[in-house]
Structure 1
Amino acid sequence: MMTKKHTAALILIAAMSCLAWADDAQKPRQPGEYPHTADSLEQPNVPSGKLEGPFEFHSKVFAGTVRQYWIYLPANYKPKAKTKPSLLVFQDGQRATNPKGSLRVPEVLDNLIHQKAIPQTIGVFITPGNTSEHYPDNLGMSNPNHRAPEYDALSDDYSRFLIDELLPEIAKKYPYNPSPEEHLIGGTSSGAICAFTVAWHRPDVFRKVISIIGSYTSIGYVPATADKPLVAGGDIYPGMIRKSPIRPMRIFLQDGSNDLDNEHGNWFLANQQMLLSLQWANANADKTGDKGPRYDINHVWGDGAHSDQHGGSLLPDILRWMWRDKTK
C-alpha cells in the first residue's frame, strides 16, 4: 500500500529526474530528454568493480539456444566473507552493461555501493537466447532471435532456466545471500515483463522488481488452432493481479506517455493498468481484512518514447528506493 512515506519518495525521485535539465534555461527540454546524473557516470574517486564475461550458457529449458552473461563483482567483494552480497539480475545484459548506453548498471552499482546507499551486490547480466551453437559475434546491442519466446511468455520457463540452471552455476564460484529479500530482478521493455514474471512465479526467490518501459502487451499471444490452445500474452496481467493472491513483491514501474502504440497494445496504458491493478489489490485486501502481504509499489511516468533513457536516468534512485530499508 502507498504510504505518505512512499508518496514522498516518489515525488523526490520524479523531482530529481528533472534537476539535470531544469537549470538550463537557454535550451528548452525536449520530450524524452533525461540526462544521466553523476551517479551513472564513472567517478575518479570511486573504486571500480570487476565485470567478468561474456560467458556462454546452453540451457536445457530452452533447448537449442545459447546466450551470453556477465558477472559484476563489487570492488571489495570477498567470496569467503561471512556476510554475503545481495543479488541483482538484469535482462538484455548486452545493453545493461554498455558503458555508453542508457542504463550503465555497473557504473551505478560502483557509485551507490561506494556511497553505502545500497548493499554490496553481485550483478548478473544475461542476454536472451539465440538458436545457434555459439552466440553470434555480430549482434552487438541487437536482440538475439529467441528473445520474445523467453521474455514475453507468461509460463515459468524463464524462471526455471534462471533459478534452476544458471544461478546455481554462478553461486558455486560467487556465493551470494540466499534470502529472497536480497534478490532484485529487472529489465526494460520485454526484459521488464520477463523480470516481473520471474518474481510472479517465484517470490520465494525474487521479491524486488525493476520494470522500465515494460511490455505488458500481447506480444506473447498466440491464437488457438484446431490442435493447440490459446497462449495468453502479457496484457492479461492486470486481470491476473486483481484475481490472484498478493505476492510479497516490491515493484518499481517506469514508462513514458510517448511509448509504443501498435498491434500488440499501448505500452503506456498497459503500464498504468499494471499500477492500478496492484493498487486495487492492496486496497481490496485492506477492505476485506486480509492479513497477508501487500504489494510495495512506486512509479514514475514521463514523456519519453520506447527508450531506456528515462529509466536509466532514474536507475540510481530506483535502486535507493529498492534498498531503502536495508541501508537506514
Structure 2
Amino acid sequence: MAHTMPYVSLPVSQADVTYEYGPDSARRDGVQPGSIEQFSIDASDQFPGTSRQVWLHRPAGHSPSQESAVMFFNDGWWYLDPAEDVRAGIVLDNLAAARELPQMVGVFVDPGVLDVDGVPTKHRNAEYDAFDGRYATFLLEEVLPRVEQRCAVSADPRMRGICGGSSGGNAALTAAWTRPDGIGRVIALNASFAQMPGGNPFPTLIASEPRKSLRVLLHAAHRDLNWNSADDNWFAENLETAAALARAGYDFRLVTGDGGHSPNHGGVLLPDALRWLWSETS
C-alpha cells in the first residue's frame, strides 16, 4: 500500500527540538482504561539482594484465558506513568481499542534496588548495561511466571517483545539477543550502547553470528551524547548497530530524530513503533 506523508519542515537547529505527541498518547473519549496490577519481587536468583516493583497492564476487555502477547517495558513505572514522556499504558489502551495489536499484556519492570548499609541504591546500570543473559533470564524465569499466575500468555518468542530507552535500550536488545528463545521483538530508544562495559558488542556479533529470528526497531538522536566525537559517540554506535542489522538481512527499522539524549521523541514514536513491531500479527 502506498502512503503519502504530510509535509514536515526540517529544523535548522538540532540543539533544542521537542516533538509534539500524537492522539494515541492521550486519553481518548470512548476508550476505557485498562487495569493495572502492581506486585513486588523482593528476592532474585539472577540479581541477589535486589528488590523491585512490577506493574501488569491489561487493556479493557482482556480475556485472561486467551493466550496473550507480552510486551516488557524496562524502567517500569517511568514508562507507565501517564504524566511522563512515554505514557505506554495510555498507548496500549488506545491501540488495543483500535484492534491494532494482538491481545497483549504490558509488563512494566522497575530496575532493582539494593540495600547498601541501609541506603537504597539503584542497580539499573549493572542490570541494563551488562552484556550477558542475566536480565533476560530474570524476565523469563522470575517475572513471567508471576504474570502467568494472573493470565495466560503465549509461549512463542515471536509473541513477546521488549522496549527500553537509553541503558534500557541496551537491556532490550541484549535480552532478545541472548534469549531469542524467549523474546523476539525489540524497541530500543536512544540506546546507550557506547557506555556498555567493554564497548558496543553488537556490530561485530550481528556481522559474525547466524541471523536470529528477531524484529528490531532502533531510534537514535542526531545530537545524542558525544555526537561529534571519535569516542563514546552514542549516535554513531546506534547507526553502526543499525548498519550491521541491515547488512545481515534483519527485519529491522531505524528512526532518527533531532535533539539530544531525551525520552521525548521516543515517547512520541511509541504508538507507531508498536504498530510496526507487531504489524504482521494484528
Verify same fold: TM over 0.5.
Answer: yes
Report the counterpart of residue 307 of structure 1 in structure 2: 262
State the Cα deviation string for residues 7-50 of structure 1 (Å, max 9, x = none): x78xx7xx57x86xx6xxxxx99842111111010112111101
Distance 1:159 1:29 in 2: 35
Instruction: Select which of 152, 162, 174 maps to 2:139.
Output: 162
Alignment pair present for 1:149 and 2:114: no
Q: Which residue of 2 aligns with 1:244?
A: 209
1:258–1:46 CA distance, 2 compared to 1 (3 A): same
Which of 237, 251, 257 is the matching residue for 1:296? Answer: 251
Contact 1:49 1:72 survives alignment (8 Å): yes
Give the structure 2 partner of residue 88 of structure 1: 71
Q: Is the 8 A contact 1:98 1:104 kept in 2?
A: yes
Pick one of 269, 273, 282 that aligns with 1:318: 273
Deviation, structure 1 residue 277: 0.7
The whole-number CA distance in structure 2 between the counterparts of 1:220 and 1:31 is 27
Whether the aligned pair in 2 keeps the contact of 1:85 and 1:122 (CA below 8 Å) is yes
Pairing of 1:68-87 with structure 2 (within 5 A): 68-80=53-65, 83-87=66-70
Is 1:253 aligned with 2:218? yes
Q: Distance in 1 between matches of 2:115 and 2:231?
A: 27
**Could you tell me which amino acid in structure 1 is paired with residue 160 of structure 2?**
H
Unpaired segments of 5 or more residues in structure 2? none
Mark the CA change 1:67 to 1:220 in structure 2 (over 3 Å): closer, same or farther.
same
Q: Secondary structure at the match of 1:265?
A: coil
Give the alignment's Cα RMSD to 1 decimal.
2.4
1:207 alignment partner, one of 177, 180, 184: 184
Counterpart of 1:268 (choices 235, 240, 244) is: 235
CA distance in 2, matches of 1:244, 1:121: 31
Q: Give the Cα separation in 1 of the matches to 2:251 and 2:55.
A: 29
Amino acid at match of 1:265: D
Aligned to 2:49: 64
SS, match of residue 46 in structure 2:
coil
Structure 1, gaps ≥5 residues long: 23-27, 222-231, 283-294
Moved more, 242-251 or 172-181: 172-181
Whole-Å separation in 2 of the counterparts to 1:317 and 1:48: 19
For 1:278, which of 245, 249, 252 is the aligned residue?
245
> What's the CA shift for 1:106?
0.4
1:207 CA displacement: 0.8
Distance 2:208 2:281 in 1: 31
Aligned counterparts of 1:114 and 1:216: Cα–Cα separation in 2: 35
Could you tell me which residue of structure 1 aligns to residue 107 of structure 2? 124
Please state how far the C-alpha of 1:149 moved relative to its aligned partner. Answer: 0.9
Deviation, 1:57, is: 3.7
Task: Answer yes or no: is 1:198 the counterpart of 2:175.
Answer: yes
Deviation string, structure 1 residues 86-121 (Cα, Å, up to 9, x no partner): 110000012101111111000000001101111121
Once residues 260 and 192 of structure 2 are traced to their aligned partners in structure 1, the CA distance between those partners, rounded to angstroms, is: 13
TM-score normalised by L of structure 2: 0.91
Q: Kindly state the Cα deviation for residue 263 of structure 1 after the two structures are TM-superposed.
A: 10
Name the SS for the 1:161 alignment partner. helix
1:178 corresponds to which of 129, 139, 155: 155
**Post-superposition CA distance 1:199-239 (Å, at most 9, x none):** 1011111111001001111x332xxxxxxxxxx34x12111
Give the CA deviation at 1:190: 0.5
Q: Which residue is equivalent to 2:196? A: 220
Contact 2:14–2:223 (CA under 8 A) maintained in structure 1: no
Equivalent position SS for 2:217 = strand
Query: Match of 1:101, as an amino acid?
Result: E
Aligned equivalents of 1:318 and 1:47: distance in 2?
A: 22
Conserved 8 A contact 1:57-1:69: no
